[in-house]
């Protein structure tokens, strides 16, 4: 592998994971299009959709747990929410990840485009007064949470994502979870999801290990910095950044697909 190519992969991993730690997403929403498009833009041999989804799955596994560690204090991790959605998403993600070997490159990209577009639309719907709810008084509909997590797991498992970019708008808009608790808890759920996602990608031979290693190392360095900044930022600003980020990546993918 050329040194310049390795440096490029490192930068992609660093930028994506910094945003991941700051916004509570596993990073796949950012890194999937970056890994798919940026190397070829600079004249390097492109990664396939299967390889990118495999790298994303392993990357999310390591980066999400780094983010959880950053949020372990402050009461932001809702154990009931994490358990309920974590078990459902674990099952769904393994099914989607294992079954993704039968899909074409174009089909995987279309699944990503649909997920990102749905997440973007949901993020722009206003959430009224959810951050006024005390953290120790947060309640949610468990059957609904489990069902939605399973659906997210199947679809995100296909593209190697942990599902954080879909979990966040679902938790904010439908389950009515405060923003900081949503960001912290979604990272924990994403970590659980990525265990199944990584296993499915490894068993079906969809992982390019050297690029994955470089992206993961960069991410482990960057994610804690993003987490520290997240704790100091206004929650409305966090939601706005995430909404714009998801929308821009969704539009780019659909432009390429069409």
pLDDT of residue 7: 93
* Chain segment 141-181, per-residue pLDDT in tens: 999 999 999 988 888 788 766 677 778 888 888 888 888 78
* Chain segment 49-85, per-residue pLDDT in tens: 788 888 888 887 887 777 677 777 767 788 899 999 9
Distance of CA 254 to the CA centre of its chain: 19
* Chain segment 125-135, per-residue pLDDT in tens: 766 667 667 76
E strand segments, the chain: none
Contact 26, 53 (CB under 8 A): no
pLDDT over 90 at 95, yes or no: no
Question: What one-character DSSP code corresponds to residue 24?
Answer: T
Q: Is 47 left (phi over 0), alpha (psi -120 to 50) or beta?
A: beta
CA–CA gap between residue 187 and residue 68 (Å, rounded): 6
Comparing C-alpha atoms, which of 177, 159, 156, 160 is closest to residue 168? 177
Write down the pTM of the prediction: 0.72
pLDDT of residue 163: 72
In this prediction, what percent of the chain has a pLDDT beyond 90? 12
């Amino acid at each position: 592998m050329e040194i310049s190519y390795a440096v490029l992969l490192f930068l992609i991993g660093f930028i994506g994971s910094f945003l991941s730690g700051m916004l509570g997403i596993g990073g796949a929403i950012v890194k999937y299009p970056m890994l798919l498009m940026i190397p070829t833009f600079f004249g390097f041999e492109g990664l396939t959709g299967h390889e990118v989804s495999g790298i994303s799955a392993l990357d999310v596994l390591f980066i999400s747990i780094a983010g959880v560690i950053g949020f372990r204090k402050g009461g932001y991790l809702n154990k009931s929410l994490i358990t309920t959605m974590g078990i459902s998403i674990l099952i769904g993600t393994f099914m989607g990840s294992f079954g993704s070997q039968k899909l074409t490159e174009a089909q995987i990209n279309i699944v990503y485009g649909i997920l990102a577009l749905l997440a973007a639309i949901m993020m722009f719907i206003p959430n009224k007064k959810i951050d006024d709810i005390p953290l120790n008084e947060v309640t949610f509909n468990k059957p609904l949470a489990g069902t939605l997590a399973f659906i997210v797991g199947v679809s995100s498992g296909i593209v190697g994502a942990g599902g954080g970019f879909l979990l966040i708008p679902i938790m904010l808009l439908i389950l009515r979870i405060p923003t900081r608790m949503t960001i912290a808890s979604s990272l924990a759920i994403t970590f659980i999801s990525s265990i199944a996602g990584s296993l499915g990608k490894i068993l079906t031979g969809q992982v390019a290990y050297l690029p994955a290693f470089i992206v993961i190392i960069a991410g482990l360095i960057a994610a804690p910095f993003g987490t520290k900044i997240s704790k100091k930022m206004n929650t409305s600003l966090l939601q706005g950044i995430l909404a714009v980020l998801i929308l821009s990546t969704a539009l780019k993918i659909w432009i390429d697909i069409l």
